[in-house]
Amino acid sequence: MSYDPNCNNENCNANRAEYPLTDLLITGTEINYLFICPTKLWYFAKGITMEQENEWVDLGRFLHEQRYANEEKEVLVGSIKIDFIRRGDVIEVHEVKLSKSMEKAHEMQALYYLYYLKKLGIKARAVLHYPKLNETKEVTLDGREGEIEKAIKEVERIKSLPAPPKPVKLKKCLKCAYYELCWV
């Protein structure tokens, strides 16, 4: 049974798992950024968005639009925005990524989407797409809820900080849209 937000009868959503509202107010991007850089997460959570002028983000957007032109794109479900979905026996959540260099962050973002949908009573699986590599990776939640709940708590902790966490300079910083905020 899937969740019906328009239902006024308490029995129609009875199979829906109960959840704390705060678990579902975090975005997939915030989960992703947690595993890329907590400093980037803090800036993003405070409304400082630098990606709109980043060439790597533009390239990723272009690949997504060209390669998956016929897909229903940017599906918004509450606080999450899924690149595209396919409907079948099970909803397939698809995320398109430029490279595998941040694969853990990509996987955790997809897991969060699955966790989120499960909390709404929606059964789903996820597929990560790496179009430049012609590769895909299937992601399933299978008992990893605790890992996602820990990530949610860490995102909330970082967002509540009065100042950004001290950045750690890594090779990936050179391509980051937030580079100037941290290192210039």
Give me the CATH number covering residue 152: 3.90.320.10
Mean pLDDT for the stretch of residues 3-21: 44
Predicted TM-score of the model (pTM):
0.79
Residue 178 lies in a domain: yes
| pLDDT tens per residue across span 127-171 | 999 988 999 999 999 999 999 999 999 999 999 999 999 999 999
- Beta carbons of 59 and 172 less than 8 angstroms apart: no
Q: Is the pLDDT of residue 8 over 50?
A: no
Is residue 5 situated within a structural domain? no
User: pLDDT averaged over the chain?
Assistant: 82
Residue 51 lies in a domain: yes
pLDDT digits (tens, 9 = 90+) for 50-80: 766 656 555 555 665 666 566 666 787 888 8
Residue at 140 is within a domain? yes
Rounded Cα distance, 42 and 159, in Å:
6
Q: How many domains does the chain have?
A: 1
Residue 90 covered by a domain: yes
Residue 18 in domain: no
> Which among 99, 122, 177, 115 is positioned nearest to 151, based on CA atoms?
115
pLDDT at 49: 84
Range of the domain at 37: 28-162+169-182
24, 26, 16, 28: which is closest to 128 by C-alpha? 28
pLDDT at 70: 63
In a domain, residue 126? The reply is yes
Q: Determine, yes or no, domain membership for 3.
A: no
**Distance set, CA 88 to CA 15, 57, 85, 92, 103 (Å):** 21, 30, 10, 8, 26
Least reliable range by pLDDT among 121-125, 138-142, 143-147, 173-177: 173-177
CA–CA dist 109, 30 (Å, integer): 8
Whose structure tokens read 């590599």? 133
Q: Confirm if 106 and 128 have CB atoms less than 8 A apart.
A: yes
Q: Sheet harboring 124-130: ordered strands across?
A: 73-77, 80-86, 91-96, 124-130, 135-139
